[in-house]
Amino acid sequence: MTEYLLLFGGAFAAATILPFYSEVYLAILLSEQPGNWAWLWLVATSGNTLGAVLNWWLGQYMLHYRERRWFPLKARELERAQRWFQRFGVWSLLFAWLPIGGDALTFIGGIMRVRLSYFVVLVGIGKGLRYLVVILFADALLF
């Protein structure tokens, strides 16, 4: 049970600005418990999606701090991300799994006031597919 909590926590942290790579721990757990791949997928996807919800919430409520030095996005990056989001719309959240820019997308989703239900579904699909690819890749390498 502890390993599942660690996987959930690692996946949650990986979706925030914290530097963490949950895929490595997922692959380790898969090597130890290959028959539990579906449960591991669900735990990792849930944790990572909920971590993205934290970014959404921060985007909703912290935009008025954007001029502060500690704000995670510089003004230029924020403008570029908002233009990109406006161009591709809510569907861009399917790419929230990307290692570069994915976390910013979830933050921008909050800034752009995307409805939470749409946000969770789209981000969850993207992140779930990413973890499925990790599982398939780990399966091909380990077994």
Whether the predicted pLDDT of 77 surpasses 70: yes
pLDDT at 141: 80
DSSP output for 93-130: GGGTT-TTTHHHHHHHHHHTT--HHHHHHHHHHHHHHH
Question: Side chain identity at 70, as an amino acid letter?
Answer: W
Q: Which residue has the tokens 């909920």?
A: 50
Please state, in angstroms and rounded to a whole number, the distance separating the CA atoms of residues 105 and 52.
9
Whether the predicted pLDDT of 143 surpasses 70: no
* Residues 88-122 pLDDT 10s: 889 999 998 887 778 888 988 998 899 999 999 99
When pLDDT is cut at 50, 70 and 90, the band that residue 86 belongs to is confident
